[in-house]
A = this chain, B = another copy of it.
Amino acid sequence: MATIKDIAKAAGVSVTTVSRALNDYSDVNEKTKARIKDIATQLNYSPNALARSLVMSKSHTIGLLVSELNRSGAKDMFTYEVMCGINDAASDQNYDLILFSTNPIKQEQKSYSQLCRERQVEGVIMQGIKTDDPYLEEVIESNIPCVLVDVELEGDNVGYVSTDNVFGAQMAIKHLINLGHENIAMVNGHNQARVSQRRFEGYERALKEAGIPMQEHYVVEGDFLEPKAETVATKLLTEHPEITAIFCASDLMALGVLRAAERVGKKVPEDLSIVGYDDIMLAQYAHPPLTTVAQDKYQIGYESSRLLTAMLQQETKKRKVILDNQLIVRGSTAPPKS
C-alpha cells in the first residue's frame, strides 16, 4: 500500500525525484538514488500499474480475445497450446495478457473497440474467430493493432499468422506417392473453410507435379466430423476399390476413415494408407498410430505475440507470418500391395 509519496516523505525528497530514481534516470545523485531504492524495498513498495498506465497512456497489456473459449474446444488442444505460446512470448516482452472471451450475446452488448478501449489494451490477438464474425469487420476499421490466428486478413493495423496448408498437404501427398501410391483420395472438410481450400490446393498440386491425373470423384467432404467422414469414406472405398491411400483434412476425420476401412474389410496400412492433419493427441494412440501433418500450435501462438509486439513497437512492416508444418510418419502409411 506504500505509494511513491510515502517514499518521498521518508526520504525527504520530492515525488519527482523518487519517480526518477526508481526509473533510473541519470539526473538524480547515485547516493540518493540508492537511498530511495532502499527505502522503497523497506516499505515493500510496488508501483501501481494503473496509475502509470493512465498517465503514460500505455497499458502494456494485450487483449487475448478467444471466441467461445469453452469445453468444445477441448477436443483438440489447439486453443490451449496456442495460448501457451502467446503467453510465453507476451511475458517475454513484458506484456500482460488480459482475457476477453466473447460469445454472440456479449458481442451485441459491447463492440470490439469498446472492449479494447475500456481496458486500454494496446493490441489484440484474436483466436478461434470465424470468417463471418461481426468483430472481424471492426478489426479492420479499428486503429488498434491486431493479430489474427489462422484468419487470413491483412491491413495497416492487422496481421495474421498461420501455417502453410498448401505445403502441408503437398508433403502428405508426396509421402504417399513416394511410397508408391497412385490412387490417392482426399476426405476434405468443407468448402467454406479456408484451410480446406488450401489443403485441397496442395493435394492437387502434388498430384500434378507427380504427373498423376486427379480424379474428381476421389475428393469428398467430411465436414471435419468423425462420423461423417466414416460415412463418406465407406462409400468411397466401396465404389472405388482401387484406392490405396486417403488423405484427410483433419485427424478426427482420419479416425473416421480408419473405422470405414475396418467396415469394408481393408487393413491399415497394408490395404489402405491414411494420412491425417493436425497431429492431435489421439493421433499417436490410434490403431495404427496416424501418419499426419503437424502444425506447431505453440509456435503459432508464440509468433502471434511476437508479431503483435513488433507491430506495437512499430519495428516491422511485416503483417503476416506463415509457419512451416511437419509430416509425422507413423504406422498408418505403407507401400501399397503391388
Give every chain B residue within 8 A of A322 (Cβ-Cβ). Answer: none
Residue of B77, B100, B101, B120 touching A50 (CB-CB under 8 A): B120
User: A88 contacts the other chain (Cβ, under 8 Å)?
Assistant: yes
Interface of chain A: mostly helix, strand, loop or mixed: helix
Residue of B47, B79, B97, B281 touching A75 (CB-CB under 8 A): B281
**Cβ contact within 8 Å between B46 and A50:** no
Give every chain B residue within 8 A of A46 (Cβ-Cβ). Answer: 113-114, 117-118
* A256 → B minimal CB distance (Å): 12
Complex formed: what's the CA distance from A258 to B59 in Å?
52
Give every chain B residue within 8 A of A59 (Cβ-Cβ). Answer: 50
**Cβ contact within 8 Å between A98 and B101:** no
Binary contact readout A92-124 vs B (1 if CB under 8 angstroms, 0 otherwise):
000011111100001000000110011110000
Provided the pairs A70-B88, A79-B80, A285-B286 are in contact, do residues A49 and B99 lie with their beta carbons within 8 angstroms?
Answer: no
User: A87 contacts the other chain (Cβ, under 8 Å)?
Assistant: yes
* A303 → B minimal CB distance (Å): 15
* A281 → B minimal CB distance (Å): 6
Residue of B49, B54, B285 touching A285 (CB-CB under 8 A): B285
Interface residues of A (CB under 8 A from B): 1, 44, 46-51, 53-54, 59, 61, 64, 69-71, 73-75, 77, 79-81, 83-84, 87-88, 91, 96-101, 106, 113-114, 117-120, 255, 281-282, 285-287, 298
